[in-house]
Amino acid sequence: MAITREDVLHVARLARLEIPEEEIGRVQEQLSAILEAVGKVSELDLSDVEPTSHPLDVVNAWAEDEPRPSLPQDEALANAPDPEDGHFRVPAVG
């Protein structure tokens, strides 16, 4: 399964990766080769098979609704690249 240049750009956009022009071709080639290999899964007719998303058959794991201490504000922000006024600052959203 070969993927197109547009596919690469679309996927990079969805994944928020700023792919430089000169790398698009190489990425396209590599992804195509990998997709061709993994596309092998479609050889099997598995229409009657249930998917497995958890290897273990565990259900109903939850916690009681009892508060635990939160982090102090300075610890919450300790690793922040751009803290401001108790908040995490980011460039304009729109």
Residues 28-87 that bind another protein (CB under 8 A): 30-31, 33-35, 37-44, 46, 49-56, 58-68, 70-73, 75-82, 84-87
One of 2, 4, 5, 17 touching another protein (CB under 8 A): 17
- CA 13 to chain centroid, in Å, comes to 12
Are 8 and 24 within 8 A, CB to CB?
A: yes
The DSSP bridge partners found for residue 84 are 87
Which member of 6, 14, 21, 22 binds another protein (CB under 8 A)? Answer: 14
93 binds another protein (CB under 8 A): yes
Among 4, 8, 21, 25, binds another protein (CB under 8 A): 8
d(CA 3, CA 6): 8
Amino acid at 79: N
Residue 2 lies near another protein (rule: CB under 8 A)? no
Q: How far is CA 68 from CA 74, 86, 87, in A?
A: 18, 21, 22
Least separation in angstroms between residue 25's CB and another protein is 14
